[in-house]
Each structure stands twice: as structure tokens, then as C-alpha cells.
Amino acid sequence: MKSADIRELSVQEIEKKIRDTRDELTQLRMRKQTGQVERPDELRTLRRDVARLETILAEKKQAETAA
């Protein structure tokens, strides 16, 4: 997910997206332990997506409190 796409979302949508991505990451980690992961690079992608989402969420919340 690109930063520009995330910035268009509301705070509630970003929080939901974080929860969904973390759930997906957890499931992928479980599958990795059993050797069922076809694309191991997807773990990195999901971790980066979570970080990107959290960063933009923090920016939005800071902007709300400053306004």
C-alpha cells in the first residue's frame, strides 16, 4: 500500500487496516513455521505496511490535536 493511498483514508479506516494487516502478518508467520509460505518476502512487505500505516496514523492524530 502506498503512502498516498493511506493518507486519503480516515483515522478509523487506518486503524482497521492496521488490525487487518497485523492479523494477516500473524497468520503468515504461523504458516511460515509449518513451511507453507510460498512468498517469504511477503513478511517484509506486511511489516513495512504496518509501519507505514502507524506512521501516517500518528501524523494524523498529531495534526488533529494541533488544530
- What CATH number does the domain containing 7 carry? 1.10.287
The answer to pTM > 0.85 is yes
Query: What does the pLDDT profile of the chain (67 residues) look like in tens digits?
Result: 899 999 999 999 999 999 999 999 999 999 999 989 889 899 999 999 999 999 999 999 999 888 7
The answer to whether the beta carbons of residues 13 and 41 sit under 8 Å apart is no
Structure-block grid coordinates of residue 15: 486503524
Q: Domain range holding 32?
A: 3-66
The tally of domains found in the chain comes to: 1
- Residue where the block lists cell 502506498: 2
What is residue 1's predicted lDDT score, i.e. its pLDDT? 80
The answer to whether the beta carbons of residues 28 and 46 sit under 8 Å apart is yes
